[in-house]
Amino acid sequence: MSQLSVWTYRWLPLIHDAAWVPAALLMAFLLRFNLEGIPDPYVSGFWTLTAVALPVQLISFHYFGLYRGIWRFASIPDLIRILQAVVTGALVTFLLLFVWQRLEGIPRSVTVLYPVLLIAGLAVPRLFYRWFKDRQFGFASGQGKRALIVGAGRAGELLVRDLLKDGQYLPVAFLDDNRKKHGLDIHGVRVVAGSDAFEEQVRGLNIEIVLLAIPTASAALMRNLLDKSLALKIPCRTLPSLSELAEGKVEVGTLREIRIEDLLGREEISLDDLQVREFLKGKRVLITGAGGSIGSEFCRQVAEYQPEKLIMVDHGEYNLYQIDAEMRAAQGGLIVSLLGDIRDEPRMRWIFEHYRPHVVFNAAAYKHVPLVEENPAEGVKTNVLGTSRIADIAVETGCEKFVQISTDKAVNPTNVMGASKRAAEIYCQNLNGRSPGTAFITTRFGNVLGSAGSVVPLFEKQIKQGGPVTVTHPEITRYFMTIPEAVRLILQAGSMGKGGEIFVLDMGEPIKIVDLAEQMIHLFGMESGKDIEIEFTGLRPGEKLYEELFHQSEALIGTSHPKIMLSASREVAWDEMQALLEKLRGACAEREIDSVRSLLHEMVPEFIQSSVSGDTAKPDGVKLH
């Protein structure tokens, strides 16, 4: 910063404020005597008051931080600091003079007029300077895209304030459905109408971009505004949702394009944050599959609750490298990153014995239905044998809670992936009764948007390539939630669980995949059947038309959280399960695929085996694995 800048930002404000102290006192005396001059008996009182007030006020100004702010960005906090500094300085000044000379020669009305005039003298120039700069660099310049802001609430006010400073967009008007706000100005930007006048205002005001400033906006409102914007060929941006705005910052940099998850009608999920913090704070937390889409989000969210250590385990080097780099930049010494496969018993045993985790989130799994169907032995080795192995080790090393991440495909499974996850559920729930020191908790949910293998990135790629978008069946439906909200609910369930529970996450209403495809095509500004074709390819091996979140024999009951339900677990003969696991190990090792499927059916009687398989006739591993 140049010497001139230092002078401008530090010394000129100080000189300005110091000059206002005698000026405010002079005006107070003159007002007291009807602007006819100060009578001789009161002149000495004026000079005495000035001599005391000036140093006291300057000390008070400095103490309350009047010079930490910049006039260009003067705001309510600056006005509060002025009020505190002036009132405190005036009280000290008059108290000193009262003790010293009983306020001789000082009219009592001056004690009221002086602080009021000084507050005005300090605040008005600051606010005028900001207004002048906002006009100069905002409206007066005419730079930036002409923006229509939808939402004149707190978020809209913060956004327009930042827009005026940034210069990237020129805020022209607000739309808000609250009629009481119509005709009002927010930082000089008029609230002109409600959202029903959207097209009229966009055309009439020559709008170039629409900014949605309603973090709590419903999916219906988002779809409506997006449809209208696309019809007018106007880009539309939105502020993140409340859950994404974790730090509460509303600024130009947080604006983003509308995404498919904004249009799916999901409600914001609130957590009992205190309960989750008590669950994780100061604990050593181990996350398997930490490099995956779900596992990496676990790492981000768990780190916010101040664990003693966050141990990230994954068998994929590149995935682990990515989350390690991200987490170390944010969390530093909290992080331990370990390469390892949950099927590797010596490695897992060393990790558990060396770090002694208090809490384990087992997110390691093979989850892609067609691939696991083609490679059943590999799916079982990870999802069943690997899970049972680290569950046993967790008990042996004194782990307090083991949270098993399951799936809606474990309910009445028609594929190996679902059956293997159901077998893991059964094992963990029954191990819970045999390990009083370790609580085993299972959480079951559906598809997550944006995860590895999700249809969303596939559809996006197909749309960018010009289509067609492939859907297996016109009636196929799935439950969807975003990765962050799934992880938040799992953390909540983990904090609630006492051991032995199967928590079922409320996924809302199932969504037809063809509707999802049409919405994504529309999101890209195109029409299905005209710009992009939808092609139906037929159900894949092991794929169901409709997914279920619980078995008909599982009685669901509510919990203290409205989005989490509790399902009854099934008791099995422990010795029989151990014998089946031993046979399963042998069948997987020998690639006896028919035996693998048969043994899975014994463990999970509701498993309806698919008639199509990629490797029933070939050794597992010939195809993709």
Residues carrying an active site annotation: 409
DSSP H helices in 375-512 = 376-380, 387-396, 416-432, 455-464, 483-496
Residue 417 · residue 372 · CB < 8 Å: yes
Q: Which residues contact 99 (CB under 8 A, 6 or more apart)?
A: none
612 C-beta neighbours (distance < 10 Å), count = 12
Reading the block at residue 96, the tokens are 């000193």
Q: Which residues contact 62 (CB under 8 A, 6 or more apart)?
A: none
Q: How far apart are CA 457 and CA 382, in angstroms?
A: 25
Phi, psi of 144 (to 5 degrees): 90, 160
Helix or strand or coil: residue 474? coil
- Axis-axis angle for helices 293-303, 483-496 (nearest 10): 60
Return the closest-CA partner of residue 163 out of 179, 146, 180: 146
Q: How far apart are CA 464 and CA 38, in angstroms?
A: 81
Return the closest-CA partner of residue 59 out of 5, 21, 12, 28: 21
Helix (H) or strand (E) holding 566: strand 564-567
Write the Ramachandran bin of 39: left for phi over 0, alpha for psi from -120 to 50, otherwise beta: beta
Burial group, residue 498, by CB count within 10 angstroms (0-12, 13-18, 19+) = exposed
Helix or strand or coil: residue 374? helix
Q: How far apart are CA 122 and CA 111, in angstroms?
A: 17
Strand duo 534-536 + 502-505: pairing = unpaired
Q: How far apart are CA 498 and CA 439, in angstroms?
A: 6
Residue 357 · residue 286 · CB < 8 Å: yes
Burial group, residue 15, by CB count within 10 angstroms (0-12, 13-18, 19+) = exposed
Q: How far apart are CA 391 and CA 441, in angstroms?
A: 11
Measure Cα distances from 210 to 110, 187, 258, 379, 432 in Å. 53, 18, 11, 47, 54
CA 241, distance to chain mean position in Å, is: 7
- Strands, E assignment, 412-507: 439-445, 447-449, 469-471, 477-478, 480-482, 502-505
Burial group, residue 410, by CB count within 10 angstroms (0-12, 13-18, 19+) = buried
* Stated length of the chain: 625
Peptide bond into 468 cis (omega under 30): yes
206 C-beta neighbours (distance < 10 Å), count = 9
